[in-house]
């Protein structure tokens, strides 16, 4: 049987899992960690780093490290790592390459196929970019699975005998999705999905970081946001404070040596309460309830008709999220599913279903929906005037997939010999407010009076969220087709081949992930490198404390003692400032 894995390619962290008999199981990284940070960087020798090795240098080398690239998927933006430029697809491919490497190390054999999850509200361009990233990483991605659907699979595996309505509320590091499902006789049927692919826990971090930056400016008159390295430290402190506030009412925030004024180092010591944090992020959290309402409306359900609410995504651990969801539905969300691992475990279940390894054991089956309305641009007559730019839906949002639907349109002008088919997704009446997907021209239409020639347009939307559009001139039978996978931002075949070779070359030349059993392989990060260089320059009678702190910091990194590493890093920063 082919070896296939399930991958949760997350904004903040990524995971890989497989079916171990009839149970999904997370594959640990070579360090033993269950999650791999979705961070890519270059070390001081310009070798590629992926995972915690890259994350450890976010604060010290922000210009050579990138995180949260998932938010850029499907765009034409480029990411700079030092002097190198990468596409978001290439950065994601490096993360997938690390997961593939972990899986192959675990199995002792090649892994070349995967089910990869994406937010339900990902656009076609974002889905195609994700498939391309898998290709660059050496993975065949035959199935793109919506994240809340994957989480529902992980939940449903243990509840096959129940008949119930389930809402999966998925708030990750950079995206939010909600799906409404009906479960009966081992069938998981997605009824509706909605979401916001520009909202997640990273936005909470930035809101708190902005608050801290303003406090530093108020106390010391300096703007740390103008210093990428200093603000990266503030962001990391904000993220850690957010995590701690899920378990405590207030946390101290200490940023020694965060800046300088008149040649003297400046440090920040403060505190953030849970109430203060919730005031900063409350509006964002409450905004997630609007897509929840939309999904319930599409599913023709009230909040009280929902049997269970499953919270997924690390950001769902924020207590205000739990309270807001509980208040909206009038019941406590389910706590039995690990919010960090549910999506990866569900992807593994889908992988098992795909190759037939678990279908006879579980009887589980799942259906999904198209989360967007898909249609074409048309012109309509208003009296004697022809109004263009009108959106005509062909496949309504939340239609069960795979689906194929056909609508008939007529020519709008006398003697018209061709039509331009422009495809959009969205729900606005005018196409200018929707997302453009692609276009093509249909020629060879017989001339005649306006309205005399009719053209059928068929939309076929598959389980991977890929759209095929076919146009047929009814009087002649001539057909023209467009597969919506050629967005302007997408790599060409030649570009993908070049990028795949580049990633494979850099992977083999670099040290992409940390050595086994080492918490932080990048101990030679910028801070240590600077400190050791400074040591070499100092006279021996001035190296005492600096030498000692360098040694203890390096040892803490090697042993994975996070608390000790943080203390020594802070002291090392202070010492370097004092020596300037």
Catalytic annotation, residues = 8, 70, 147, 170
- Eight-class DSSP state of 334: B
- What's the number of CA atoms in the CB half-sphere (13 Å) around residue 438? 20
Q: What is the DSSP pairing of strand 365-370 with strand 187-196? A: parallel
Task: Please report the DSSP string for 247-299 in residue order.
Answer: TSSEEEEEEEEEEEETTEEEEEEEEEEHHHHHHHHHHHHHHTHHHHHHHHHHT
Cβ neighbourhood burial of 403 (10 Å; 0-12, 13-18, 19+): middle
Distance (Å, rounded) from C-alpha 419 to C-alpha 446? 12
Sign of CA dihedral 356, 358, 361, 362: negative
3-state SS of 180-226?
A: EEEEECCEEEEEEEEEECCCCHHHHHHHHHHHHHHHHHHHHCCCHHH
* Beta-bridge partners for 23: 20
Q: How many helices (H) and strands (E) does the chain have?
A: 15, 27
Q: Report yes or no: 422 and 434 within 8 Å, Cβ to Cβ.
A: no
Q: Looking only at Cα atoms, what is the longest distance across the chain?
A: 97
Query: Distance from CA of residue 249 to its chain's centroid?
Result: 29
Q: Report yes or no: 375 and 422 within 8 Å, Cβ to Cβ.
A: no
Q: Report yes or no: 351 and 8 within 8 Å, Cβ to Cβ.
A: no
Cβ neighbourhood burial of 332 (10 Å; 0-12, 13-18, 19+): exposed
């Amino acid at each position: 049987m082919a070896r296939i894995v399930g991958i949760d390619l997350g904004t903040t962290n990524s995971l890989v899992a497989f079916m171990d008999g009839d149970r999904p199981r997370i594959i640990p990284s070579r360090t033993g960690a269950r999650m791999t940070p979705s961070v890519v960087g270059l070390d001081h020798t310009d070798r590629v780093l992926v995972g915690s090795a890259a994350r450890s240098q976010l604060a010290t080398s922000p210009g050579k490290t990138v995180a949260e690239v998932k938010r850029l998927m499907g765009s034409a933006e480029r990411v700079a790592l030092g002097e190198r430029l990468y596409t978001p697809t290439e950065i994601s491919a490096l993360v997938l390459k690390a997961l593939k490497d972990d899986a192959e190390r675990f199995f002792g054999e090649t892994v070349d196929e995967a089910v990869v999850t994406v937010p339900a509200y990902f656009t076609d361009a974002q889905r195609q970019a994700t498939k391309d990233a898998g290709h660059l990483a050496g993975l065949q991605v035959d199935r793109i699975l919506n994240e809340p659907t994957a989480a529902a699979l992980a939940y449903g595996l243990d509840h096959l005998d129940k008949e119930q309505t389930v809402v999966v509320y998925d708030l990750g590091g950079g995206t939010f999705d909600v799906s409404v499902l009906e479960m009966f006789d081992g069938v998981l049927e997605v009824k509706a999905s909605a979401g916001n692919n520009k909202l997640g826990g990273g936005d909470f971090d930035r809101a708190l970081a902005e608050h801290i930056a303003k406090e530093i400016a108020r106390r010391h008159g300096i703007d740390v946001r103008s210093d990428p390295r200093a603000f990266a430290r503030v962001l990391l402190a904000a993220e850690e404070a957010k995590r701690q506030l899920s378990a405590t009412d207030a946390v101290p925030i200490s940023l020694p040596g965060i800046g300088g004024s008149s040649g003297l180092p400046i440090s920040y010591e403060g505190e953030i309460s849970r109430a203060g944090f919730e005031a900063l992020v409350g509006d964002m959290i409450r905004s997630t309830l609007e897509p929840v309402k939309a999904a319930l409306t599409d599913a023709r359900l009230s909040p009280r008709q929902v049997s269970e609410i499953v919270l997924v995504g690390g950001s769902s651990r924020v207590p205000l999220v739990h309270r807001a969801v509980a208040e909206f539905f009038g019941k406590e969300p389910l706590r039995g599913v690990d919010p960090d691992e549910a999506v990866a475990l569900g992807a593994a279940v889908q992988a098992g279903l795909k190759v037939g390894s678990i279908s006879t054991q579980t009887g589980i089956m799942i259906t999904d929906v198209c989360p967007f309305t898909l249609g074409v641009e048309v012109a309509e007559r208003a009296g004697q005037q022809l109004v263009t730019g009108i959106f005509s839906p062909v496949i309504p949002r939340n239609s069960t997939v795979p689906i194929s639907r056909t609508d008939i349109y007529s020519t709008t002008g006398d003697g018209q010999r061709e039509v331009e088919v422009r495809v959009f997704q969205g729900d606005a009446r005018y196409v200018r407010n929707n997302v453009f997907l692609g276009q093509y021209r249909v020629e060879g239409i017989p001339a005649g009076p306006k309205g005399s020639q009719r053209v059928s347009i068929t939309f076929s939307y598959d389980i991977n969220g890929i759209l095929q559009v076919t146009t047929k001139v009814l009087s002649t039978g001539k057909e023209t087709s467009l597969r919506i996978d050629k967005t302007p931002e997408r790599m060409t075949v030649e570009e993908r081949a070049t990028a795949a070779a580049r990633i494979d070359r850099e992977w083999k030349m670099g040290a992409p992930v940390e050595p086994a059993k080492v918490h932080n392989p990048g101990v030679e990060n910028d801070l240590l490198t600077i400190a050791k260089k400074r040591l070499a320059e100092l006279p021996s009678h001035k190296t005492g404390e600096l030498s000692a702190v360098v040694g203890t910091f390096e040892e803490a990194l090697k042993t994975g003692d996070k608390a000790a590493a943080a203390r020594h890093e802070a002291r090392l920063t202070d010492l370097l400032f004092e020596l300037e």
